[in-house]
Protein backbone atom coordinates (compact mmCIF):
# COMPACT_ATOMS: atom_id res chain seq x y z
CA UNK A 1 0.00 0.00 0.00
CA UNK A 2 1.17 3.53 -0.70
CA UNK A 3 2.64 5.31 2.26
CA UNK A 4 1.36 8.70 3.43
CA UNK A 5 2.77 12.07 4.43
CA UNK A 6 1.49 14.11 7.37
CA UNK A 7 1.84 17.90 7.14
CA UNK A 8 1.42 20.32 10.03
CA UNK A 9 1.17 24.11 9.74
CA UNK A 10 1.65 25.56 13.21
CA UNK A 11 0.35 29.11 13.57
CA UNK A 12 -0.44 31.50 16.38
CA UNK A 13 -4.19 30.82 16.30
CA UNK A 14 -4.64 27.38 14.69
CA UNK A 15 -2.67 24.24 13.97
CA UNK A 16 -3.61 22.80 10.58
CA UNK A 17 -3.06 19.13 9.76
CA UNK A 18 -3.30 17.21 6.50
CA UNK A 19 -2.67 13.64 5.39
CA UNK A 20 -1.36 13.44 1.84
CA UNK A 21 -0.39 10.73 -0.59
CA UNK A 22 3.26 10.67 -1.61
CA UNK A 23 2.17 12.36 -4.85
CA UNK A 24 0.78 15.28 -2.87
CA UNK A 25 -2.96 14.63 -2.95
CA UNK A 26 -4.66 15.85 0.23
CA UNK A 27 -6.75 12.98 1.67
CA UNK A 28 -7.69 14.26 5.11
CA UNK A 29 -7.61 17.70 6.69
CA UNK A 30 -8.37 18.95 10.19
CA UNK A 31 -7.27 21.68 12.56
CA UNK A 32 -7.15 22.54 16.24
CA UNK A 33 -6.84 25.79 18.16
CA UNK A 34 -3.34 26.77 19.24
CA UNK A 35 -3.27 26.96 23.02
CA UNK A 36 -0.45 29.39 23.75
CA UNK A 37 -1.08 29.52 27.51
CA UNK A 38 1.61 28.47 30.02
CA UNK A 39 4.51 29.49 27.76
CA UNK A 40 3.09 27.48 24.88
CA UNK A 41 3.74 24.25 26.81
CA UNK A 42 0.46 22.67 25.63
CA UNK A 43 1.18 23.05 21.92
CA UNK A 44 3.34 19.98 21.31
CA UNK A 45 1.28 17.65 23.55
CA UNK A 46 -1.91 18.89 21.81
CA UNK A 47 -0.36 18.16 18.40
CA UNK A 48 0.65 14.64 19.47
CA UNK A 49 -2.78 13.93 20.91
CA UNK A 50 -4.53 15.23 17.82
CA UNK A 51 -2.39 13.11 15.49
CA UNK A 52 -2.88 9.95 17.50
CA UNK A 53 -6.61 10.62 17.82
CA UNK A 54 -7.05 11.11 14.07
CA UNK A 55 -4.90 8.13 13.18
CA UNK A 56 -7.10 5.93 15.33
CA UNK A 57 -10.20 7.61 13.86
CA UNK A 58 -9.03 6.77 10.32
CA UNK A 59 -7.78 3.33 11.37
CA UNK A 60 -4.21 4.21 10.39
CA UNK A 61 -0.92 3.12 11.93
CA UNK A 62 2.42 4.99 12.30
CA UNK A 63 4.07 2.46 9.93
CA UNK A 64 1.81 3.73 7.15
CA UNK A 65 3.55 7.13 7.23
CA UNK A 66 6.78 8.11 5.54
CA UNK A 67 6.99 10.93 8.02
CA UNK A 68 5.57 14.10 9.53
CA UNK A 69 6.70 17.54 8.35
CA UNK A 70 5.91 20.77 10.15
CA UNK A 71 6.21 24.49 9.47
CA UNK A 72 6.57 26.75 12.51
CA UNK A 73 7.15 30.40 13.36
CA UNK A 74 10.37 31.27 15.17
CA UNK A 75 13.99 30.27 14.69
CA UNK A 76 14.34 26.64 13.71
CA UNK A 77 17.34 24.36 14.11
CA UNK A 78 16.42 21.91 11.39
CA UNK A 79 19.10 19.37 12.36
CA UNK A 80 18.19 19.29 16.04
CA UNK A 81 14.46 19.75 15.36
CA UNK A 82 14.19 22.54 17.91
CA UNK A 83 12.48 25.95 17.87
CA UNK A 84 13.18 29.14 19.81
CA UNK A 85 11.88 32.70 19.73
CA UNK A 86 8.39 32.04 18.34
CA UNK A 87 6.75 34.91 20.18
CA UNK A 88 3.22 34.41 18.84
CA UNK A 89 3.35 30.91 20.39
CA UNK A 90 4.89 32.17 23.66
CA UNK A 91 7.88 29.97 22.87
CA UNK A 92 10.73 32.04 24.26
CA UNK A 93 12.90 29.13 25.41
CA UNK A 94 14.23 26.20 23.34
CA UNK A 95 11.48 23.72 22.43
CA UNK A 96 12.42 20.07 21.73
CA UNK A 97 9.73 19.66 19.10
CA UNK A 98 11.21 16.83 17.03
CA UNK A 99 12.17 14.50 19.86
CA UNK A 100 8.81 14.95 21.62
CA UNK A 101 6.68 14.44 18.52
CA UNK A 102 8.70 11.42 17.37
CA UNK A 103 8.39 9.89 20.84
CA UNK A 104 4.68 10.66 21.02
CA UNK A 105 3.73 9.42 17.53
CA UNK A 106 6.46 6.91 16.52
CA UNK A 107 6.67 8.71 13.16
CA UNK A 108 9.81 10.36 11.76
CA UNK A 109 9.58 14.15 12.07
CA UNK A 110 11.08 17.04 10.09
CA UNK A 111 10.66 20.75 10.74
CA UNK A 112 11.39 24.07 9.04
CA UNK A 113 10.18 27.65 9.33
CA UNK A 114 6.73 28.58 8.05
CA UNK A 115 7.86 30.73 5.13
CA UNK A 116 10.22 28.02 3.87
CA UNK A 117 7.50 25.42 4.18
CA UNK A 118 5.00 27.59 2.29
CA UNK A 119 7.65 28.01 -0.42
CA UNK A 120 7.93 24.23 -0.69
CA UNK A 121 4.15 23.96 -0.97
CA UNK A 122 3.78 26.57 -3.72
CA UNK A 123 6.75 25.08 -5.51
CA UNK A 124 5.42 21.51 -5.36
CA UNK A 125 1.69 21.87 -5.90
CA UNK A 126 1.10 25.56 -6.61
CA UNK A 127 2.37 28.28 -8.92
CA UNK A 128 5.89 26.83 -8.95
CA UNK A 129 4.78 23.86 -11.09
CA UNK A 130 7.29 21.58 -9.35
CA UNK A 131 10.21 23.27 -11.13
CA UNK A 132 13.63 22.98 -9.44
CA UNK A 133 14.18 26.74 -8.97
CA UNK A 134 11.32 28.68 -7.34
CA UNK A 135 11.26 31.68 -5.01
CA UNK A 136 8.25 32.38 -2.79
CA UNK A 137 7.60 35.82 -1.33
CA UNK A 138 4.81 36.38 1.18
CA UNK A 139 3.43 39.88 1.69
CA UNK A 140 1.55 39.94 4.99
CA UNK A 141 2.06 41.56 8.38
CA UNK A 142 5.71 41.26 7.46
CA UNK A 143 7.44 40.22 4.26
CA UNK A 144 9.01 36.77 4.29
CA UNK A 145 9.98 34.13 1.84
CA UNK A 146 11.66 30.92 0.95
CA UNK A 147 14.02 29.93 -1.84
CA UNK A 148 14.14 26.54 -3.54
CA UNK A 149 17.07 26.01 -5.93
CA UNK A 150 18.14 22.72 -7.52
CA UNK A 151 15.01 21.31 -5.87
CA UNK A 152 16.28 22.07 -2.36
CA UNK A 153 15.39 24.70 0.21
CA UNK A 154 18.21 27.14 0.88
CA UNK A 155 19.00 27.92 4.51
CA UNK A 156 22.40 29.60 4.59
CA UNK A 157 24.94 29.52 7.40
CA UNK A 158 22.59 30.92 10.08
CA UNK A 159 19.25 29.89 8.59
CA UNK A 160 18.49 33.35 7.20
CA UNK A 161 18.38 32.48 3.47
CA UNK A 162 15.04 33.52 1.99
CA UNK A 163 14.56 36.53 4.30
CA UNK A 164 13.62 38.65 1.32
CA UNK A 165 11.72 41.11 3.51
CA UNK A 166 15.03 42.57 4.62
CA UNK A 167 16.48 43.21 1.20
CA UNK A 168 17.43 46.90 1.08
CA UNK A 169 15.36 48.57 -1.64
CA UNK A 170 16.06 52.17 -0.61
CA UNK A 171 19.26 52.98 1.27
CA UNK A 172 17.58 56.17 2.56
CA UNK A 173 14.25 54.51 3.26
CA UNK A 174 12.17 53.95 6.39
CA UNK A 175 13.68 52.43 9.52
CA UNK A 176 12.84 48.74 9.88
CA UNK A 177 12.24 46.71 13.05
CA UNK A 178 15.43 44.81 12.17
CA UNK A 179 17.45 47.95 12.88
CA UNK A 180 18.47 48.92 9.35
CA UNK A 181 16.86 51.15 6.77
CA UNK A 182 14.90 50.71 3.59
CA UNK A 183 13.96 47.03 3.92
CA UNK A 184 11.36 45.75 1.44
CA UNK A 185 9.16 44.97 4.43
CA UNK A 186 8.94 48.67 5.37
CA UNK A 187 7.14 49.45 2.11
CA UNK A 188 5.52 46.20 0.92
CA UNK A 189 4.02 44.57 4.02
CA UNK A 190 0.41 45.40 4.90
CA UNK A 191 1.60 48.12 7.27
CA UNK A 192 4.30 49.16 4.80
CA UNK A 193 1.72 49.95 2.12
CA UNK A 194 -0.11 52.21 4.60
CA UNK A 195 3.20 53.81 5.59
CA UNK A 196 3.89 54.67 1.94
CA UNK A 197 0.33 56.06 1.68
CA UNK A 198 0.88 58.37 4.65
CA UNK A 199 4.21 59.54 3.26
CA UNK A 200 2.86 60.34 -0.19
CA UNK A 201 -0.32 61.90 1.26
CA UNK A 202 1.77 64.52 3.03
CA UNK A 203 3.07 65.88 -0.26
CA UNK A 204 -0.11 65.27 -2.23
CA UNK A 205 -2.26 68.29 -2.99
CA UNK A 206 -4.95 67.05 -5.41
CA UNK A 207 -8.33 65.48 -4.72
CA UNK A 208 -8.29 61.91 -3.39
CA UNK A 209 -10.59 59.82 -1.23
CA UNK A 210 -7.52 58.13 0.24
CA UNK A 211 -6.06 61.52 1.14
CA UNK A 212 -9.36 62.54 2.76
CA UNK A 213 -9.53 59.29 4.79
CA UNK A 214 -5.97 59.72 6.02
CA UNK A 215 -6.52 63.38 6.85
CA UNK A 216 -9.66 62.43 8.80
CA UNK A 217 -7.60 60.02 10.89
CA UNK A 218 -9.52 56.97 9.62
CA UNK A 219 -7.92 53.55 9.91
CA UNK A 220 -6.71 52.59 6.47
CA UNK A 221 -5.54 49.12 5.45
CA UNK A 222 -3.46 48.03 2.49
CA UNK A 223 -6.63 46.42 1.15
CA UNK A 224 -8.34 49.84 1.16
CA UNK A 225 -5.43 51.33 -0.75
CA UNK A 226 -5.54 48.65 -3.46
CA UNK A 227 -9.35 48.85 -3.73
CA UNK A 228 -9.32 52.64 -4.04
CA UNK A 229 -6.66 52.35 -6.71
CA UNK A 230 -8.29 49.57 -8.72
CA UNK A 231 -12.02 50.27 -8.29
CA UNK A 232 -12.09 54.04 -8.04
CA UNK A 233 -8.90 55.03 -9.83
CA UNK A 234 -8.02 57.18 -6.82
CA UNK A 235 -5.02 59.24 -7.86
CA UNK A 236 -3.09 59.06 -4.61
CA UNK A 237 -3.87 55.36 -4.18
CA UNK A 238 -2.49 54.72 -7.68
CA UNK A 239 0.69 56.58 -6.75
CA UNK A 240 1.03 54.41 -3.63
CA UNK A 241 0.53 51.21 -5.63
CA UNK A 242 3.08 52.45 -8.15
CA UNK A 243 5.68 53.11 -5.47
CA UNK A 244 5.06 49.80 -3.65
CA UNK A 245 5.24 47.79 -6.87
CA UNK A 246 8.37 49.70 -7.94
CA UNK A 247 10.11 48.40 -4.81
CA UNK A 248 8.65 44.91 -5.22
CA UNK A 249 9.75 44.87 -8.85
CA UNK A 250 13.23 46.00 -7.86
CA UNK A 251 13.53 43.30 -5.19
CA UNK A 252 12.10 40.60 -7.48
CA UNK A 253 14.32 41.85 -10.29
CA UNK A 254 17.45 41.43 -8.21
CA UNK A 255 16.32 37.99 -7.03
CA UNK A 256 15.89 37.18 -10.72
CA UNK A 257 19.27 38.65 -11.72
CA UNK A 258 20.97 36.69 -8.95
CA UNK A 259 19.12 33.34 -8.97
CA UNK A 260 17.15 33.18 -12.22
CA UNK A 261 14.36 30.97 -10.87
CA UNK A 262 11.63 29.77 -13.21
CA UNK A 263 9.10 31.59 -11.04
CA UNK A 264 8.88 34.14 -8.27
CA UNK A 265 5.60 33.40 -6.51
CA UNK A 266 3.86 36.27 -4.67
CA UNK A 267 1.59 35.23 -1.78
CA UNK A 268 0.32 36.50 1.57
CA UNK A 269 -2.56 38.81 2.44
CA UNK A 270 -1.43 41.77 0.33
CA UNK A 271 -1.37 39.51 -2.75
CA UNK A 272 -5.19 39.34 -2.54
CA UNK A 273 -4.92 42.44 -4.75
CA UNK A 274 -4.36 39.85 -7.47
CA UNK A 275 -3.54 40.58 -11.09
CA UNK A 276 -3.75 44.35 -10.43
CA UNK A 277 -0.73 43.91 -8.13
CA UNK A 278 1.06 41.18 -10.09
CA UNK A 279 1.03 42.99 -13.43
CA UNK A 280 2.52 46.10 -11.85
CA UNK A 281 5.26 44.14 -10.08
CA UNK A 282 5.98 42.44 -13.38
CA UNK A 283 6.28 45.78 -15.20
CA UNK A 284 9.04 46.91 -12.83
CA UNK A 285 10.56 43.42 -12.70
CA UNK A 286 11.09 43.65 -16.46
CA UNK A 287 12.65 47.09 -16.07
CA UNK A 288 15.12 45.79 -13.49
CA UNK A 289 16.23 42.52 -15.08
CA UNK A 290 18.67 41.80 -17.88
CA UNK A 291 17.26 40.24 -21.05
CA UNK A 292 17.84 36.51 -20.40
CA UNK A 293 16.26 36.75 -16.95
CA UNK A 294 13.45 38.99 -18.17
CA UNK A 295 12.55 36.32 -20.69
CA UNK A 296 12.92 33.25 -18.48
CA UNK A 297 11.83 34.16 -14.92
CA UNK A 298 8.08 34.59 -14.38
CA UNK A 299 6.17 36.54 -11.72
CA UNK A 300 3.09 34.64 -10.55
CA UNK A 301 0.49 34.84 -7.81
CA UNK A 302 0.39 32.08 -5.21
CA UNK A 303 -2.25 29.44 -5.89
CA UNK A 304 -2.60 27.40 -2.71
CA UNK A 305 -3.61 30.10 -0.22
CA UNK A 306 -3.74 28.72 3.32
CA UNK A 307 -2.99 25.18 2.16
CA UNK A 308 0.57 26.00 1.08
CA UNK A 309 1.72 25.45 4.66
CA UNK A 310 0.39 21.92 5.24
CA UNK A 311 1.25 20.77 1.73
CA UNK A 312 4.78 22.13 1.93
CA UNK A 313 5.18 20.75 5.44
CA UNK A 314 4.13 17.31 4.20
CA UNK A 315 6.74 17.52 1.44
CA UNK A 316 9.45 18.00 4.09
CA UNK A 317 8.75 14.43 5.18
CA UNK A 318 9.45 12.94 1.74
| Interaction site with a second copy (CB under 8 A) | 131, 133, 147, 149-150, 152, 154-164, 166-168, 171, 176, 178-180, 183, 246, 250, 253-255, 257-262, 287-293, 295-297
Q: How far is the CB of 94 from a second copy (least distance, A)?
A: 17
Q: How far is the CB of 290 from a second copy (least distance, A)?
A: 4
Phi, psi angle pair for 205, to nearest 5°: -110, -20
If the CB atoms of residues 160 and 212 are measured against a second copy, the closer one turns out to be 160
Specify whether the CB–CB gap between 146 and 153 falls below 8 A. yes
Q: How far is the CB of 261 from a second copy (least distance, A)?
A: 6
3 state SS of 95? strand
If the CB atoms of residues 66 and 259 are measured against a second copy, the closer one turns out to be 259
Q: How far is the CB of 82 from a second copy (least distance, A)?
A: 17
- Report the chain's C-alpha Rg in angstroms: 21
If the CB atoms of residues 13 and 150 are measured against a second copy, the closer one turns out to be 150
- How far is Cα 54 from Cα 220, in angstroms, rounded to an integer? 42
Distances (CA, A) of 83 to 104, 161, 187: 17, 17, 29
Q: How far is the CB of 230 from a second copy (least distance, A)?
A: 25
| Beta strands at 26-33 and 65-72: parallel, antiparallel or unpaired | unpaired
If the CB atoms of residues 45 and 132 are measured against a second copy, the closer one turns out to be 132
If the CB atoms of residues 96 and 292 are measured against a second copy, the closer one turns out to be 292
| Residue ranges in the chain assigned as alpha helix (H) | 37-40, 43-57, 97-105, 114-125, 185-188, 190-203, 209-215, 222-232, 235-259, 274-287, 291-296, 307-316
Amino acid sequence: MDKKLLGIDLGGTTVKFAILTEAGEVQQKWSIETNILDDGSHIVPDIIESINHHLSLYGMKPEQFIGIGMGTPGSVDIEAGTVIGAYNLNWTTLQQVKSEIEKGTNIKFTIDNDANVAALGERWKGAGENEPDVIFMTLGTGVGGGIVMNGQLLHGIAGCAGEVGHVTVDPNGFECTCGKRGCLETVASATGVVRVARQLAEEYAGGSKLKACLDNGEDITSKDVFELAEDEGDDLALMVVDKVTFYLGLACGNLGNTLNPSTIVIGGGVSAAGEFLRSRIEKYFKEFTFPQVRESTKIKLAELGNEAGVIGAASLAK
